[in-house]
Amino acid sequence: MRGFARQVALGVTTATGMAAEDPALLAVQASRRAPRRATLAVAGLLDNGTGGRHADARRGLAAWLRGHRDDARAGVAAALAGRPASPVRRVLGEVAVELDVPLPPDAPRVTRARAAWRAGDVSGAVTLAQGTPLGRRLASEQRAMTPGTVLAGDRRARSTPAGPPVALHLLTNSLPHTSSGYTLRSHEVLRAQAAAGIEVAAATRLGYPVVVGRVTGRDVDVVDGIAYHRLLPWSAARTPGARLRQNVALARPLVRALRPTVLHTTTAWSNAVVTRALADEHGLPWVYEVRGVLEDTWAASFPTAEAQHAARASERHALLRARETELARAADHVVTLGETVRRDLVTRGVDPARITVVPNAVPGELLDLHVSSTAARARLGLSGEGFWVGTVSSLVDYEGIETLVEAVAVLRRRGADVRCAVVGDGTARASIARRAQSLGIADHVVLPGRVAPDEAVGWHLALDAFAVPRRDTAVTRAVVPLKPMQAMALGRPVVASDLPALAEIVGEPGTGLLAAPDDAQALADAIERLADDPALAGSLGEAGRAFAATRTWAAAGAAYRRLYEEVAA
């Protein structure tokens, strides 16, 4: 009961703090956390309103709640131009920031500050919000992300504990509350390390999972024997810098109790700042696992190429890149997922001798799983006919799933019986469904939503080819995704965008076909080659299985053990 009371108190104080900073922002954030059925119900109520002054506002907000981002941008822009009443205007302003819609010049100062921050103008945002609770928060975050800023604390001399490695992982989030590529890799790494004889435990960031709306969790979640410790205060500090110090304070007793020989953390920089402070305090080595390029992932979230280019030229992009570089150079060792990111870190000045590539891998048991796609589809209630192509992924814009849907439409116009399954959820799901509808192929595109990790294997097996149609952005050129490795282990050929990170696992080992990114015709041609040539599809699938056999989690666990023993010595 005490733990539950603490989580409720944390949730209340977090919401209260947001309300004090800006009630309109709290309303927007709450709508993002609400169950999908609830947001759709609210959207329906907005649509049922009569005409009048706020018709554009209702239309824009309803589209936003449904995930129809293009319609939402148009509606919100029209509503703001109509100068709605103040409370409506505040909410519309916050939604406009989320959608990258330009604000009117007379928008509230805090809203303009948030828009400036979103656009990457860090100093401008801090200046605009000066003297407000938001201003204090932004100024604190600016200081925290600036290279050279460290959390104050004593530094102890390094020690070399005897015995097998003991690793404490400091993570952003985890199973069972969040299912994503990040949490799945974290979990597989922890399981692999445990199997390799490493004693492991993990702790998630301050306030998680309460900060994502889960107020009934436990202080420790145990998943497949892996303990995930929660760092849950009665209330969170009000500024980002103070929360980082609070994070260190709450993790400190865990470090003392578990007595690790190494601390291990992952992107982003805030995790690394906390881990570095704990390592200095306890005389421990620390490993930074750079799983992506944070600043480029942020830039890729903008809706147009022009906006992405502006983001990459912004102050925020430069600060994030410099901060990530500083921390990678400060770590005792760096782990990356692929050669593209490794080469980038070397150009930033990270010693190549302190970088180890531990790629995304597969459970060894998948390599021995031989199930035909028609049999797998029967288990899912899908048609055994046609050639099925699809993906299991987070549905965000840079994954390029709309290009895949367009390629399927091209093939069906050619007379080919090609069908599609897109498994997962995210901000782009609604637009993917609408695109399939507009192309007249909604009956041939299955969107089952997010599924549990053990169910995802069945969907991989149901496909005749696995697609990775990523758009050409800085982040997709660098970051190697996890899901195609599972498809390879199951003997499914891959068709992917011709980007460096994907060529590394598809083109070079010959596990599938590459097509020009953002080109539905080129993607359709590649899929058609596989559909028309079963022998080719089969040989690529077997090449994929052979390649995946070189990248198992058992091998990754052994690599981590060697790495930990080296840094401890």
Which among 398, 423, 377 has a CA at the least distance from the CA of 497? 398
Cα–Cα dist 412/56, whole Å: 37
**Could you tell me if residue 505 is left (phi over 0), alpha (psi between -120 and 50 degrees) or otherwise beta?**
alpha
23, part of any domain: yes
Could you tell me if residue 412 is inside a domain? yes
Q: Indicate the residue among 341, 357, 373 that finishes a domain.
A: 357
**Residue 205 · residue 171 · CB < 8 Å:** yes
Q: In terms of domains, do 372 and 347 share one?
A: no
pLDDT band at 154 (very low <50, low <70, confident <90, very high): low
Measure the CA angle with vertex 172, ends 308 and 144; round to 5°. 65
pLDDT band at 49 (very low <50, low <70, confident <90, very high): low
H runs (alpha helix) in 22-172? 23-33, 36-47, 55-66, 69-81, 86-99, 109-119, 122-128, 133-145
**Model confidence at 52: pLDDT above 80:** no
Same domain, 401 and 346: no
- Considering the domain architecture, whether residues 393 and 344 belong to the same structural domain is answered as no
Pair 403, 320 in one domain = no
Could you read off the pLDDT of 303-318 as tens digits, one per residue? 888 999 999 999 999 9
pLDDT at 11: 78
In this prediction, residue 2 carries a pLDDT of 67
161-170, 336-345, 377-386, 543-552: range with lowest mean pLDDT:
161-170
Domain that holds residue 98: 2-107
Among residues 72, 107, 142, the one where a domain terminates is 107
Is 331 in the same domain as 213? yes
For residue 342, the model assigns a pLDDT of 95
**In a shared domain, residues 352 and 378:** no
Q: Check residues 346 and 25 and name the one with the higher pLDDT.
A: 346
Q: Please report the pLDDT score of residue 165 as a whole number.
A: 95
Packed helices 55-66 and 69-81: angle between N→C axes, nearest 10 degrees: 160
pLDDT score of 217: 73
Same domain for 181 and 283, yes or no, is: yes
Kindly indicate the confidence band of residue 116, based on its pLDDT and cuts at 50, 70 and 90.
very high
CATH code, domain with 176: 3.40.50.2000
Claim: this prediction has a pTM higher than 0.75 = yes
When pLDDT is cut at 50, 70 and 90, the band that residue 417 belongs to is: very high
Long-range (24+ apart) CB contacts under 8 A made by 129-135 are 132/21, 133/20, 133/21, 133/238, 134/21, 134/22, 134/110
Looking at the fold, whether 394 and 353 belong to one and the same domain comes out as no
Per-residue pLDDT averaged across 485-502, rounded? Answer: 96
Residue 440 belongs to a domain: yes
Residue at 508: amino acid letter? E
Q: Is the pLDDT of residue 372 over 60?
A: yes
Mean of the per-residue pLDDT values of the chain = 92
**Residue 296 shares a structural domain with residue 380:** no
Query: What is the edge-to-edge ordering of all strands in the sheet holding 512-515?
Result: 445-449, 418-423, 387-392, 465-468, 494-497, 512-515
* Pair 228, 209 in one domain: yes
- Which residue in this structure is represented by tokens 């965008």? 497
Please list, residue by residue across 527-557, b when 16 or more beta carbons sit within 10 angstroms of its beta carbon and e when fewer do: bbbbbeeeeebeebbebbbebbeebbbebbb
- 68-103 confidence digits (pLDDT tens): 888 999 999 999 988 777 778 888 998 999 899 999
Residue indicated by tokens 């920031």: 97
Q: How many domains does the chain have?
A: 3
CB 404 within 8 A of CB 469: yes
- Yes or no: say if 428 and 417 are a contact pair by the CB < 8 Å rule: no
What confidence score (pLDDT) does residue 454 get? 84
Q: Same domain, yes or no, for 284 and 370? A: no
- Amino acid 258: pLDDT: 95
User: Residue 553 falls within a domain, yes or no?
Assistant: no
Residue 50 has pLDDT above 60, yes or no: no
Residue from 288, 283, 420 nearest 350 by CA: 288
Confidence grade of residue 31 (pLDDT, cut at 50, 70, 90): confident
What pLDDT is attached to residue 46?
85
Does residue 135 sit within a domain?
no
Tens-digit pLDDT profile for residues 263-316: 999 999 999 999 999 999 999 999 999 998 999 999 998 988 899 999 999 999
Geometric angle at alpha carbon 87, from 83 and 89, rounded to 5°: 35
Local structure of 301: helix, strand or coil? coil
Classify burial at 126, counting beta carbons within 10 Å of its beta carbon; exposed 0-12, middle 13-18, buried 19 or more: buried
Would you call 150 exposed, middle or buried from its count of C-beta atoms within 10 A (0-12, 13-18, 19+)?
exposed
Query: How far apart are the C-alpha atoms of 96 and 212, rounded to whole Å?
Result: 22
Q: Does residue 67 belong to any structural domain of this protein? A: yes
Give the helix ranges, DSSP H, for 331-448: 339-347, 373-380, 401-413, 429-438
- Domain co-membership, 323 together with 300: yes
End-to-end alpha carbon distance in the chain: 44
Domain assignment present for residue 384? The answer is: yes
Can you tell me the distance from the alpha carbon of 351 to that of 197, in angstroms, rounded to the nearest whole number?
28
Q: What is the pLDDT of residues 217-260, one digit of tens each?
A: 789 999 999 999 999 999 999 899 999 999 999 999 999 999 99
Strand partners, 287: 264, 333
Note whether residue 114 is domain-resident.
no
CB count in 10 Å sphere of residue 300: 21
Residue 188 has pLDDT above 70, yes or no: yes
Amino acid at 241: G
Domain end, chosen from 357, 377, 396, is at 357
